Amino acid sequence: MKVKILRYNSENDSSPYYQSFQVPFSDDDEYTVTDVLDYISVNIDPTLAYFKHSACDHGICGRCAVKMNEKNVLACTTVVDCSRDMVLEPVSEKHLVKDLVVRIP
């Protein structure tokens, strides 16, 4: 599946840009958005920033929200449709820290 992610690192980038990743997941299992992000982080681009510190991965801490195809979801419990492309963006432009990471006060 193709995953398009909005990237932005204020130290290097003048403005946000989309980057596409090819992730080899198929519908033989049920993967979450976090599974997709973990795959990219481990195997393709370790610089990708998404919420992943002291994370529960089971919808308990509620801190991993991202925008998936225009809809705000918890990354760790939201199952992805491997048969179609996916766009991931941060849930808030105003509170953006880096890539998909936001810090909402």
Interface contacts to another protein, rule CB under 8 A? 9-12, 29-32, 35, 41-43, 46-50, 52-63, 74, 76-77, 79, 97-98, 101, 103
Distance of CA 48 to the CA centre of its chain: 9
Q: Which is nearer to another protein, 13 or 85 (CB)?
A: 13
The residue to which tokens 């925008």 are assigned: 67
Shortest Å, Cβ 63 to another protein: 7
The phi, psi pair for 101, rounded to 5°, reads -90, 125
The conformational region for residue 52 under phi > 0 = left, psi -120 to 50 = alpha, else beta, is alpha
Shortest Å, Cβ 6 to another protein: 15
Shortest Å, Cβ 5 to another protein: 14
Rounded to whole angstroms, the Cα distance separating 51 from 82 reads: 22
Q: Which is nearer to another protein, 58 or 84 (CB)?
A: 58
